[in-house]
Every structure is written in structure tokens, then in C-alpha cells.
Amino acid sequence: MGWHCADIVEPALPEYADCLVDGLPNSGQDACDVGFYCRTFNPNVNDGYCAALCSGTSDAPICTDALVCDQTDELTPFCSVRTCDPLAQDCSDGQTCLNLGLLFMDFVCVETSADAAGFRESCVPTPEFGEESNCAEGLTCVTFPYAPGLCSGLACCTAFCDVGGSLDCPTGTSCTPVSGDVGICIVAP
């Protein structure tokens, strides 16, 4: 399958909106707006989200904001959030490194809100794709079973830690594994 023109469906869906592919994945037969396509995560499933296509050339791809061009599928290079290391917190200023759940296998850079909560403060659980995190840089919002004792709310901002011990938890919390060597700081039961 090569490049081809596809009809625009009105009203067209914006970036990050949930979408369905009509036909084969990456066919362009979807309701996403011009410059976007319905990015699916499984070739046997037709639902995904509207992802921006990279502009520029394959040698010098262009994406907006803090996005990078993912060229792993050369038929549909798309703009994606940047993957990151939650222990190094290697995102740009104003961003934090989070795992957004089942949508991504990796940790990705997410914008933090202007009024982000600090360590052991109440928060709103993990944002949807394209939304801001309401925990400060370097923190993640956790719920049950990790939140009890961290704050007075049902969800609390906490720090990442290294299960191997190179990045310790603040006093009063201990490191519990969540993904490989990455852990989060919780109050021991």
C-alpha cells in the first residue's frame, strides 16, 4: 500500500481523538482531520487515536510542540510523544515522564499543568493521551492500592524511585516496583 488521497469526513476529528479505521490499518480511511490519521496499536483492531503525520522529509522530519517523528512504519511516519526515562526525568522543561497505562508500553513525556500538585498532595489520576499531568515534574499520580497514607485524597502525587537503590524515596516512604527497575514511593502498610 502506498500514499493515496482519502476523503475528509465532516466533522473531522482533531488530534488525539478516538477514531476508527474503515478498512486496513494505516489506510487513511478514517474520520481524522487533514494532516492526521487513525493510529492503531494492533493490526487486527480498527480503533485508535488521531495522530499527526510528520511533515518535512524522511531525512529532516518535522513535528510541532514537544513531539518527535516516529518513522518505525515508513508508510505512515507520525508525530508521537517522546519516550523518556522516569528515573532520569529527561523530558523538556514543563514536562514530566509518565506511563499513561495500556495505551503505551513505554514512559512518555507529558506536559505538566501550571498549578501542578507536589509530593504527597492530592491529584487527578493519570491523564488521557494529550492532556496535562496535574502532578509536578518528576512525580506521578497514584490511586489504590498505592495511595493510602500518602495524602488525604483518593489519588496522590508521589515520586519515582529505582528499585535497585540509586534513586531513593523521601523520608517516610519506601520504593515498591511497578515496571522493571522503576518503582514508586509509597507509605508502607
Question: How do residues 61-103 score in pLDDT, each as one tens digit?
Answer: 888 766 778 776 666 777 777 778 889 988 888 888 887 654 4
Same domain for 173 and 107: yes
3 assigned to some structural domain: no
Residues 6+ apart with CB under 8 A from 45: none
Decide: residue 143, CB within 10 A, 0-12 exposed, 13-18 middle, 19+ buried.
middle
164 assigned to some structural domain: yes
Same domain for 100 and 180: yes
89 assigned to some structural domain: no
Q: In the prediction, which pLDDT does 26 show?
A: 65
Same domain for 70 and 41: yes
Q: In the prediction, which pLDDT does 104 show?
A: 43
Question: How do residues 13-33 score in pLDDT, each as one tens digit?
Answer: 988 788 888 877 667 788 999
Same domain for 49 and 73: yes
- pLDDT higher for 45 or 18? 18
Domain boundary among 52, 81, 110: 81
- For the chain, what is the domain count? 2
What band does 1 get if pLDDT is binned at 50, 70 and 90?
Answer: very low
Stretch 148-175: mean pLDDT, rounded?
Answer: 86
Domain boundary among 58, 81, 104: 81
Q: In the prediction, which pLDDT does 73 show?
A: 66
- Domain containing 159 equals 95-186
Q: In the prediction, which pLDDT does 140 show?
A: 86
Residues 6+ apart with CB under 8 A from 156: 120, 121, 122, 123, 141, 142, 147, 150
115 assigned to some structural domain: yes
Mean pLDDT, all residues of the chain: 79
59 assigned to some structural domain: yes
Residues 6+ apart with CB under 8 A from 5: none
Q: In the prediction, which pLDDT does 129 show?
A: 52
Decide: residue 122, CB within 10 A, 0-12 exposed, 13-18 middle, 19+ buried.
middle
Q: In the prediction, which pLDDT does 119 show?
A: 92
Q: In the prediction, which pLDDT does 43 show?
A: 67
Same domain for 43 and 107: no
Q: In the prediction, which pLDDT does 50 show?
A: 86
Residues 6+ apart with CB under 8 A from 72: none
Q: Is the pLDDT of residue 163 over 80?
A: yes
Question: How do residues 107-142 score in pLDDT, each as one tens digit?
Answer: 878 778 888 899 999 987 765 555 567 888 888 888
Q: Is the pLDDT of residue 174 over 60?
A: yes
